[in-house]
A and B are shown apart, each in its own frame.
Chain A
Amino acid sequence: MKPEALLHPTPAGLYCPLGNFHVDPVRPVERALITHGHSDHARAGHGKVLATRQTLDIMALRYGEDFTRSQQVAEWGEVIDVDGVSVHFHPAGHVLGSAQIAIEKDGMRIVVSGDYKRGVDPTCDAFQPVPCDVFITEATFGLPVFHHPDPKAETRKLLASIRQFPERTHLVGAYSLGKAQRVIRLIRDCGYDKPIFIHGALARLCDYYVSQGIELGELRPATIEKKDPSAFHGAIVVGPPSAFQDRWARRFNEPLIAFASGWMMVRQRAKQGGVELPLVISDHCDWPELLETIREISPQEVWVTHGREEALVRWCELQGLPAKPLHLVGYEDEGD
C-alpha cells in the first residue's frame, strides 16, 4: 500500500479514508484523533474525539464538557481499532497529555508526531521514538539558527534580573497551556520559593496541572492587591503575552517584560515585541533535535507539516531521504 492511501492532507487536516477519521482537524469532522490540547490542534465541535485522558480533560476545561458528542480515551501504547485501522498513542513530550499517533494497516505504519520536543520537561511524559515507515514531523523551529539553550540557564537569567532590578515587577509572558506551567516549575527547580503571581487566564490550567501531580508551589492571582503597586515590587508575574500590551499591565511598577519562547532566540524578534528579557524556553524541537529524531527513527520517508518546511526538506534531501512538505494550514503555534 502506498502511504498516501492510508493518510493524506485535506483542507480539514490529515485524513485517513480507510478508518474515516482526521488527525487534529482544523474544522468540525465526524471523528477526530487529537494529539494535544493547544487550540490550533484541538478544536471543539467534532462528532467523536479520541485522545489521551489529559488532552480530553484540557479540551473540556477550555471548551466546556460538551465540546464533542462522544469521547474515547487512548492509553499509552494501547492498540485501538478504528474501522479496521490500528491506532496507538505514544508520549510526544510537548505539553501535558501530548501524544504522537501511530496509524497502521497492512504492514504500513505512519506516525503523526504532532508537536514534540526532546528536552527534559518534568511537566509531561518524555517523547518516545516509534519505528515507522513514514514519520510526519513538525518544523516550527526547522532552521539551523535554532539551538535551544539549557532551560534552567535561561530561568537563572530571570532570577539574576530580579536581583539586579529588585524594584521592578518581572512580567513573564508564557502561553497558558504548557509553557506557563513549565516555566513556573523551572523557576521552582531553580530554588525560587516565594509566591508567584498568575494572570487569571492561567488559573484553571495551573490547577489542573497540580491535580495531575505537578507541583507548582504557591500561586496567587495577580489581581487582589491592585490598589497597591508596591505589593508587586520584585515579584514574578506569569501571564499570556497578549495581556502585557493591555491595560492589565498598568497595575505593576515599571514592569520588566520577559517572554519565554523559542522565538526569543532571534534578537530582532525580541526587540519588535518590546521584550526586555528574552527567555529561550521552547516546547518544540530545535534544529539539532529534529535531525537527531529523524536519524534515530530512520523512516523510509519524512513528511513535514507546519513551520519552516523548506529547510528540513532540504536537509532530508541532502541525506538522500525522501521528504515532502504537506502544506497544512491552520496551525499557528499557540504553544510557542
Chain B
Amino acid sequence: MKRLSWFNITSLTVGFAFLYLPMVILVIYSFNESKLVTVWAGFSTKWYGELLQNDAFLDAAWVTIKVAVISSTLATVLGTMAAYVLVRGGRFLGRTLFSGMIYAPLVMPEVITGLSLLLLFIGIGLDRGVLTIVLAHTTFSMCYVSVVVSSRLVSFDRSLEEAALDLGSSAWEAFRLVTLPLIAPAVIAGWLLAFTLSLDDLVIASFTAGPGATTLPIKIFSAVRLGVSPEINALSTIMIAIVTVGVISASLISKRNAVKAQKDARAAERAEA
C-alpha cells in the first residue's frame, strides 16, 4: 500500500480546489435570489424560470443543438474515412498534403480558421446561416475525429479483416461487419468530441454565423460582455450538469464493458481448459 506524502496531498487538494471551486461558486450563485451576483440574498430558482421564458436563449439553444448534431455526424463519417485513408490508404498522390490538412486545423488559432472560412463563404456568395456554421464545424471537428479513430486503427489487429476477406466477404462487408464494430468505441468517442467542440465554439461560429442564426455561445458571449448575470449562471449550471452526467455515465459504461470483456475472456479460457 502506497501512502501519499503531505506534499502530494496538499498539491492534489489545492490543485483540484483551483479546478473546481470557480464552477462550484458559479453553480451556487445561480440559486441566488438577488440580481446582484456577488451578494447572497437567499435561495431561489427564479433565474431558471426566467431562462425558460427567454425566447432568444431557447432559439439559440435549438440552433446550437441542430448545428452540433448535424456537424458532428458529418464529421464522424468524414473523419473516419480520413483516418482509414491515413492508416490503410497506402501511398497516393498528395498524401503528405492530406495528412498536413488533417493535423493543421488542430493547432490553427480559431480566429484564423474563422476569418478564412468567412472570406471563402463571401467569395462564393454563400449566405451565412446554419449551413455555413455546419460546414465550418464539420471541417475542424473531422480532424479531431480522424486523430481519435486513427489511433485506434493503428493498434488494431489487421488479420481479422484479412480473415473476413479470405472467407469471401467483400471489402465493404469486411469493413461493416469486422472493422467497424471493433473501432466503434473510438468512433463514438470521436462523435462525442465533435459534438462538444461544436456546442462550445464561439469564435468560428461568430465569423460564420449570419443574422438569422445565432448560437448559444454567441448569445452568452454578448450577454457576458456586459457583466455577470444570474441568468447566465443558471444557464451555465444546466450545461455543467448535462456534461457531468454525460461524462460520468460514459465512463461507467466503458468500465462495465471492460469488466464484461475480462469476464468473457476468463470464461473462454476456462472453456478451452
Specify whether A and B are partners.
no
Which A positions have Cβ atoms within 8 angstroms of B?
A: none
